[in-house]
Every structure is written in structure tokens, then in C-alpha cells.
Amino acid sequence: MNARDHRLDAAKGVLILLVVFGHLLEDLSNGWEDGAVRLLLTVIYAFHMPAFVLLAGVTAKAKRMTERILTFVILLVVFQCVYFAAERYVGYPFDWSWVEPHWILWFLLAMVWWTLTVPIVERLPRITLAVSIAVGLAAGLLLVDDDQFSLMRGLVYWPFFVLGKVYGARMIAAVPRLPRLSRWAIGAVALVPPVLLFSVDLGRQWLYSSRSYDHLDATGLEGLLIRAALYATALLLTVALFGLVPDSAGILAQLGERSLSIFLLHGLVVIGLSPAISAIFESGYDRPVQIAGIAVCAFLAGAIALVVSRRPLHWLVATPPKRAATFLTSLVPTRKQPPLSREPARHGV
């Protein structure tokens, strides 16, 4: 067995904490309308999902692909039902759909599409990377609704999946070898682009990567340039993350190793806490209350991640779907190779 890459797990740990933190921040009364909160959300959303997709590409394999895809499909169906029941219970039911993954569940369906491309990436890595970048940039020209089949995000984030598959492992290994001062300098420089995005008040829908350029009131050329800038920003921040995370089996690595359960279960907790979080600013809004609101969300993000990553919960989320996928795959007969024929020896005349 190969030893786990603690730096990769630690990076996933940081990213999953940012996912939870970002969703909690969005539930604050002013959310994206508040200056300090919007700055934090801009930094988080500028790279956390592209980086997560890149790391998914690092560990993607064509081996047992049917089983992997079935696992994602089973998780999607189960948690679509779970989230529907949860939101119906709290009084905010969404319209049921088999083709529109609810909220965070878009990632599961997108993983199906990305996994299907793995054999092509393994056969033609550089060509597929170039094609994926072109497709990701051009996706915004399509007049499609992202909610259906996770199509828009699937196309926009595909280049990061391919990049992770082709170069991700080398990036994770190479960046930490740089001198410490250089790594910290990259981290400082990487914060400049999201601050610029904040200063120009780029709409949050751009950071969600879920709408067409037309929907975002941009011409085709403007959309392509903005999307390219967002790609560069996400990549720079991701590289900075690789240079700063520790290579140790600490709490971050543990959270990263169990990021699937955190990702799928934290949304249920956020739904339950949403009314209380939204009420933070109801008694008034000033700087101390603002700082307190951010601090509360940061504390809750860590607490939620620790709770839902407990071994029994992680086993419940990760193991039964995988076993079910293995069982279903075993029911499909495999094509047996015909035995090699043994021709009689031919003697020369």
C-alpha cells in the first residue's frame, strides 16, 4: 500500500474548512453585502472549489471507473432525498428534481462527468488539458442553466480536474521545496488578485461559476477575459496553499482524509443553524458585532467539521455507497478473454 500524502490531505482539510466557513458567512444577515464579509467570501470563493477539483483530479484513476461513478450516483440520489427531507422539515422545501442536484450536490454529478474523461486524460494528457481550458473558457458562451445536470460548473471547472490529473502530484511535491521566504511571498502575492476582485465589486455569480456570460451581462470577449483572470487567480492561490500546508498527519490531514463526510453532512447543520446565524445582526450592526459574527462563523466551521468527520459518521457516508457500487458492478458480467490457441509445432522441410 502507498502511504497517504499528508500534504494533499492537509490541503483538502483547509479547503473543506473554507467550504463550511463560506456557507456560514453567507447566512449572516448582510452576507455578500457587508464589506468585511464580502472580502472574506471573495478570497474563499476565488479558489476553494477550483483547488478542490484539482485535488480530485490528483487522485482520479481509470481503474474501477464504473464502481467510482456508481458510488457518486448513489451518494447523489441518497443525499438529494436527505436534503429534501431536511429542508422540508425546517420549512424551506425546494422543488424536487432528478436532473437538478440541490445546492452543494452539484459536485457529485460533476464528478461523474469528470471521471468519465479520465481515460482520455491518461491517453492524451497535454492535448486534453488544452482542450479542457478552451472548453472551460467557452462554456460561458452557452445559454444553459447550470442547475440542470451540473453542466456549467462541470465545464468551467473541468480544466482544474485535468490539471490535477496531469500535473497536480508534481505541483504538490515541487512547491514545498521552494525556500520558505519564497513560499510566503507567493502567498502574499496570491492575495492581491482577490482583493482586486473585491475592489472592482465583481458579482458573486462570477465566483460561483454557474451562469453564462449573457446572464452576467458581459459580452463574449469580456466574459472570456474575466474567466481567464479568475482561472489565473484560482491557480495562484492554489499554488500558495500547496506551499503553506504542513506535511504531517495532524488535524488538517485528518479532516482532509474525511472531507467527503464533511462536505455532504455540513450542509444539514448549516440549514439547521441558518435562522440563528441570520439573527446575529438583528439587534444592530456595527464593527464589534461584525467581528463577532465572523468569529462565530469561524468557530462553528471548525466545530462542525470536527463533529461530522467523526469516524462513525464518515464510515456511514463513505462505506455503504462504495460497497453498494461494488456489489452492483459485480452483477455485470465481464467479457472473458478467449484462451490462447496452441498451434502444433511446424517442422521445416
Give the 3-state secondary structure of the chain: CCCCCHHHHHHHHHHHHHHHHHHHHHCCCCHHHCHHHHHHHHHHHCCHHHHHHHHHHHCCCCCCHHHHHHHHHHHHHHHHHHHHHHHHHHCCCCCCCCCCCCHHHHHHHHHHHHHHCHHHHHHCHHHHHHHHHHHHHHHHHCCCCCCCCCHHHHHHHHHHHHHHHHHHHHHHHHHHHCCHHHHHHHHHHHCHHHHHHHHCCCCHHHHHCCCCCCCCCCCHHHHHHHHHHHHHHHHHHHHHHHHHCCCCCCHHHHHHHCHHHHHHHHHHHHHHHHHHHHHHHCCCCCHHHHHHHHHHHHHHHHHHHHHHCCHHHHHHHHHHHHHHHHHHHHCCCCCCCCCCCCCCCCCCC
Helix 259-278, helix 6-26: angle, nearest 10: 20
pLDDT, position 278: 76
Question: Would you give the distance in Å from CA 192 to the centre of its chain?
Answer: 22
Average pLDDT in the chain? 89
Per-residue pLDDT reduced to its tens digit, 6-50: 999 999 999 999 999 999 998 876 678 777 889 999 999 999 999
Average pLDDT value for residue range 120-144: 94
Contacts for 31 with CB less than 8 Å, ≥ 6 apart: 25, 37, 38, 41
pLDDT, position 145: 63
Per-residue pLDDT reduced to its tens digit, 158-203: 999 999 999 999 999 999 999 999 999 999 999 999 999 999 999 8
Residues 51/234, Cβ–Cβ less than 8 Å: yes
pLDDT, position 131: 97
pLDDT band at 345 (very low <50, low <70, confident <90, very high): very low
pLDDT, position 172: 94
pLDDT, position 122: 95
pLDDT, position 1: 37
Q: Which three cell numbers stand for residue 291?
A: 467581528
pLDDT, position 100: 87
- Whether the pLDDT of residue 343 is over 80: the answer is no
Average pLDDT value for residue range 292-316: 93
Q: Which residue has the cell 468551467?
A: 156
Per-residue pLDDT reduced to its tens digit, 321-335: 999 999 999 887 766
- Between 266 and 291, the more confident residue is 266
Average pLDDT value for residue range 305-313: 95
pLDDT, position 3: 65
- Whether the pLDDT of residue 111 is over 60: the answer is yes
Task: Find the Cα–Cα–Cα–Cα dihedral 155, 156, 157, 161, rounded to 10°.
Answer: 50
Per-residue pLDDT reduced to its tens digit, 62-100: 899 999 999 999 999 999 999 999 888 887 777 788 788
pLDDT above 90 as % of the chain: 71
pLDDT, position 2: 52
What is the number of alpha carbons within 13 Å of residue 194 lying toward its C-beta?
23
Residues 263/20, Cβ–Cβ less than 8 Å: no
Per-residue pLDDT reduced to its tens digit, 203-221: 899 999 999 999 999 999 9
Nearest to 62 by CA among 123, 2, 12, 4: 123
pLDDT, position 281: 66
